[in-house]
Amino acid sequence: MRVVLTVLFAIGIMLGSWVMPAQAADIAHGGKVFGANCAACHAGGRNVVVASKSLKKEDLAKYGMDLEAIIYQVTNGKNAMPAFKGRLSATDIEDVANYVVAQAEKGW
């Protein structure tokens, strides 16, 4: 019985290491990335190019910009917004997107 439990325990550890939970976003790091790359056009959650498409909670909701959509747009760009793929790492992009969502929740 002890051998069976030891084997099951070992299997559980192996499976647990393969199915790691997603790492939590680093909001502080996202704020730094935002300050260095996004604030020129989006300071305080505004949009200096298209004022009606701000990063305020209401506008994000109005235009269907949830976390995944923000990650996609930061990565690939759209209209006047440049793509940051290749300039920022995937982690940087995820962190800045989470920062935007957190700031929108706070009202910037």
Predicted local distance difference test score (pLDDT) of residue 31: 98
Predicted local distance difference test score (pLDDT) of residue 20: 38
Predicted local distance difference test score (pLDDT) of residue 18: 42
Predicted local distance difference test score (pLDDT) of residue 1: 62
Q: Report the predicted TM-score, pTM, of the whole model to 2 decimal places.
A: 0.78
Residue type, 64: G
The conformational region for residue 61 under phi > 0 = left, psi -120 to 50 = alpha, else beta, is alpha
* CATH-assigned architecture of domain 25-106: Orthogonal Bundle (1.10)
Q: What is the mean pLDDT of each run of 10 residues along the chain (108 residues)?
A: 50 46 81 98 97 97 98 97 98 98 98
Predicted local distance difference test score (pLDDT) of residue 24: 81
Q: What b/e readout covers 78-101, taking b as 16+ CB neighbours within 10 angstroms?
A: eeebeebeeebeeebbbbbbbbbb
Cβ-in-10-Å burial (0-12, 13-18, 19+) of 70 comes to buried
